[in-house]
C-alpha cells in the first residue's frame, strides 16, 4: 500500500506494506545481546506453590514474568532523564513518532587504542541533507550483533565533536547499533550524551537516543521515513521498535 504523506513542506510517498524493522528481539537466553555487566534476561512463568502458569505444564494460560534491563538487553530509546538528577521519562517526553531519517554507514577509525566515529565521517555521510533522525550503522555489520556480549569489549563510540555536529544539524533522534554512543569506560564523563542533550544549557527534552539497533545489510544507505515505536514505560528508557519505510518520492 502506497501512502502519500504531507511532511513539513514535502509530500512523501512511502510503501506501508514494506516495513523494515531495525530492532533486536529480546529472548530469554544467554545468547541475547548483552551489555553493562548484567545477567541475561529471563522470561519465565509465574509459579504459585506447585502451580505453573504454562499451558505445557497443565495451566490454561501462559502467564510470564519478564526480568530485563532496557539499557542492556536490546533495542531501547532513552531521553535526557538517563543522565539527569531530576526524573524524566521517555513516555512523557517523546510525543511524536514519525520522522524523516537518513541511514548512514560508518567504519570506525582507530585513535589511541579506541575505535571512534569522528565529525568528519558523519559530515561526509550526511552532507547538506536536512533530517530529523540519523540511523548509524557501523561496519563490520554481521548478524553476530544480535547476540554479542559487549561487556568489557571497549566498543566503538562517537567523538564529542561528532555528536555536537549532529546537534548543530538539528538532529533530534540518533539511532545506533552499539550499546552506547559513548565509550564503555570513560569515568562517567558521558561526553556524547551530555552534548546531545545539551546539559550545559537548555535541555533538549524532545531529543532521544536509541541504542542496540540492528540494520540489516539489505537496507541501503539513504532516506527513510522512521516510525519510532516506544513502550510506554515511565522510565528514562524503554524497549523500542524502530521501523523504517523507504521514501519512494
> Cell for 121?
565521517
Name the percent of the chain in helix, strand, coil, to the closest 5.
Answer: 15, 35, 50
* Other Cβ atoms closer than 10 A to 133: 23
SS3 of 195, please?
Answer: helix
pTM higher than 0.85: yes
Nearest 5°: phi and psi at 14?
Answer: -130, 150
pLDDT of residue 207: 98
Domain regions of the chain by residue span: 2-39+70-246
Tell which phi-psi region holds residue 172, choosing left (phi > 0), alpha (psi between -120 and 50) or beta.
alpha
pLDDT of residue 117: 98
* Other Cβ atoms closer than 10 A to 79: 27
Each residue's pLDDT tens digit, 201-240: 999 999 999 999 999 999 999 999 999 999 999 999 999 9
Each residue's pLDDT tens digit, 13-24: 999 999 999 999
Strands (DSSP E) found in 8-124: 10-15, 20-21, 42-45, 47-48, 51-52, 64-67, 76-78, 98-106, 109-111, 114-117
Residue located via cell numbers 531519517: 101
The domain 2-39+70-246: what is its CATH number? 3.50.30.50
Q: Calculate the dihedral angle through the C-alpha atoms of 73, 235, 173, 154, rounding to the nearest 10 degrees.
A: -40
In percent, how much of the chain has pLDDT > 90? Answer: 94
Q: What is the mean pLDDT of the chain?
A: 96
Amino acid at each position: 500500500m502506497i501512502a502519500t504523506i504531507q511532511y513539513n513542506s514535502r509530500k512523501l510517498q512511502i510503501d506501508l506494506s514494506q516495513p523494515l524493522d531495525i530492532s533486536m528481539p529480546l529472548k530469554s537466553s544467554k545468547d541475547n545481546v548483552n551489555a553493562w555487566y548484567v545477567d541475561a534476561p529471563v522470561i519465565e512463568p509465574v509459579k504459585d506453590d506447585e502451580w505453573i502458569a504454562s499451558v505445557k505444564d497443565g495451566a490454561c494460560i501462559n502467564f510470564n514474568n519478564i526480568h530485563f534491563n532496557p539499557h542492556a538487553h536490546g533495542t531501547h530509546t532513552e531521553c535526557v532523564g538517563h543522565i539527569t538528577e531530576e526524573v524524566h521519562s521517555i513516555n512523557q517526553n517523546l510525543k511524536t513518532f514519525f520522522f524523516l531519517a537518513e541511514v548512514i554507514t560508518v567504519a570506525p577509525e582507530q585513535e589511541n587504542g579506541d575505535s571512534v566515529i569522528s565529525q568528519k565521517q558523519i559530515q561526509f555521510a550526511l552532507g547538506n541533507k536536512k533530517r530529523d533522525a540519523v540511523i548509524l550503522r557501523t561496519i563490520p555489520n554481521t548478524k553476530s550483533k544480535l547476540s554479542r556480549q559487549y561487556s568489557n569489549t571497549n566498543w566503538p563510540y562517537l567523538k564529542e565533536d561528532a555528536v555536537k555536529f549532529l546537534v548543530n544539524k538539528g538532529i533530534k533522534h540518533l539511532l545506533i547499533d552499539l550499546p552506547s554512543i559513548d565509550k564503555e569506560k570513560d569515568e562517567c564523563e558521558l561526553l556524547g550524551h551530555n552534548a546531545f542533550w545539551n546539559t550545559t544549557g537548555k535541555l533538549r527534552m524532545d531529543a532521544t537516543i536509541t541504542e542496540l539497533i540492528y540494520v540489516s545489510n539489505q537496507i541501503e544507505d539513504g532516506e527513510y521515513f522512521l516510525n519510532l515505536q516506544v513502550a510506554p514505560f515511565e522510565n528514562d528508557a524503554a524497549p523500542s521498535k524502530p521501523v523504517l519505510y523507504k521514501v519512494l518520492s
